[in-house]
Amino acid sequence: MSPYGSVFRDETKLDINYVPHKLPHRDAELHLLKEFFSFILKTPSKMTQRVIITGKVGAGKTVLSQRFGADITREAGKHGINLRYAHVNCREYRGSLFLILHHVVSVFHPNFPRRGYSAEELLRILLQILDEENAYVILALDEFESLVEREGSDAVYKLTRVHEARQDKPQRLSFVCILRNLKITERLDASTRSTLQSNIINLDGYSKRQLKDILDDRVFLAFKPSTVPEDTVDSTAELAFAQGGNARFGIELLWRAGKYADAEDLGTVIPECVRKAVSSVYPLMRKSELATLSLHEKLLLLGIARFFKESQNAYVSLAEAEKAYAVACEEFSAQPHGHTQLWKHLQMLSAFGIVETKVSAAGSRGRSTLISLPRISAYELEKELCALLGHTKT
Ligand SMILES: Nc1ncnc2c1ncn2[C@@H]1O[C@H](COP(=O)(O)OP(=O)(O)OP(=O)(O)O)[C@@H](O)[C@H]1O
Ligand SMILES: [Mg+2]
């Protein structure tokens, strides 16, 4: 029997999808966002709005928009207005306008068929549904970069100008575009850019003090009383600050530190647990190292990360990794390297400690190389690599 029991009261409060009721140090931004959309509570059909939220990794862009969405829908409900907030991560829909719109349509008609329509038709159908139901939508396009990458200026133009063709009808569709860096908007045509850029909310990375407040709130929600000493929160805030004021990093570290405390049945999350947690995310910490990889090493790693994102397996064979690499090459318009060269890239990734390789026992098709990703989340790795690759591309 463990003498202490778990340090956690409710781990779900540390989950990346959890949207807290209070967002310390984002009051002003939340207020501004509500200001931009205040017309929705008064004369929703008279206008629409487009807002950009931009800022660094883990600066709270996604959570700010989600908090806003939940608050304003509740508020609209009180005013008898049928408002929906739809939060779509464009990357999860591979940047496809069709898939994104299909998702929004299925908010209203869950079994809406996936075939037989073009993106334009879906957009028209969506507006028709909104007319029929006298509803309004705020569509948050998170990781907006993916949409621009995949569909270019055209799709964004279609979306943001949708009301121009329906002059006398009520306006129904507003947007929040969420992106890390405004640079991608340079790819849009001048008029789309200017329509989007009139309202920009920029989130700076958090200071150490601010991170401490955010972490204190989470400690209160997620951990049992007196299980997390102040020193632990301090050093976690310090580390998250060093990562560019990244609140996600701080929260994840706290969660892992709690896991270490439980594993050793300490009953308290001592600072040593945080140190252990840091070394467990070691490759992630060495982001600069990831940046030094060559283009094809990055593409191979991206292929591997994506394989693990989709699969529950602990290992990927070199052949499967090679396939995923080829897809990544196509996406970033790179000519794939041959097998021998790829093998060398794999050795390099292994030398860096990012992947591990082993040779399988001789099976029906002989021996093969198996690759694992033991120390880093495939999801995070993919995100990091896409950011880096997007960067080298422009
Ligand atoms: N002010 C805040 N108060 C409470 N929690 C916060 C705050 N800001 C961020 N967080 C939390 O930190 C984590 C990261 O925030 P979020 O996902 O919104 O970052 P992001 O800016 O969207 O990052 P990315 O660019 O990587 O998508 C989430 O778990 C979120 O709940
Ligand atoms: Mg986000």
Q: Which domains does the chain have, with CATH numbers?
A: 11-15+207-280 (1.10.8.60), 27-203 (3.40.50.300), 287-393 (1.10.10.10)
**Hey, whose CA ends up nearest to atom 2 of ligand 1?**
23
* CA of 248 relative to ligand 1 center, distance in Å: 6
Whether pTM > 0.85 for this model: the answer is no
d(CA 220, CA 10): 10
CA of 53 to the centre of ligand 1 (A): 12
Would you state the pLDDT for residue 131?
A: 95
Residue 51 near residue 201 (C-beta atoms within 8 A)? yes
Ligand 1 atom showing the smallest separation from residue 203 Cα: 21
Place of tokens 């205040």: 38
Q: What is the pLDDT of residue 363?
A: 64
Going from the Cα of 133 to the center of ligand 2, the distance in angstroms, rounded, reads: 31
User: Taking CA 189 as the corner, what is the angle to CA 187 and CA 195, rounded to the nearest 5 degrees?
Assistant: 110
List pocket residues of ligand 1, CB cut-off 6 Å: 16, 20, 23-26, 55, 57-63, 180, 214, 247-248, 251
- For the chain, 394 residues long, give each residue's pLDDT as a single digit of tens: 467 789 999 999 998 889 999 999 999 999 999 999 999 999 998 889 999 999 998 999 999 999 999 999 999 999 999 999 999 999 889 899 999 999 999 999 999 988 889 999 999 999 999 999 999 999 999 999 999 989 988 889 888 888 877 778 999 999 999 999 898 888 888 888 888 888 999 999 999 999 999 999 999 999 999 999 999 999 899 889 988 899 999 998 999 899 889 888 999 999 888 877 886 665 454 566 687 788 999 999 999 999 988 887 788 999 999 999 999 999 999 999 999 999 888 987 876 667 888 887 766 666 788 998 866 778 888 988 999 998 554 3
Pocket probe for ligand 1: among 23, 248, 255, 379, the residue whose CB has the most ligand atoms within 8 Å is 248
Q: How far is CA 120 from CA 33, 65, 102, 154, in A?
A: 29, 26, 11, 11
pLDDT of residue 364: 60
d(CA 179, ligand 2 centre) in Å:
8
H helices of the chain, where?
27-36, 61-78, 97-108, 119-133, 144-160, 190-197, 208-222, 230-242, 247-263, 271-280, 282-285, 287-292, 295-310, 318-331, 339-351, 378-393
Tell me what pLDDT residue 312 has: 76
The ligand 1 atom at the shortest distance from the C-alpha of residue 210 is 1
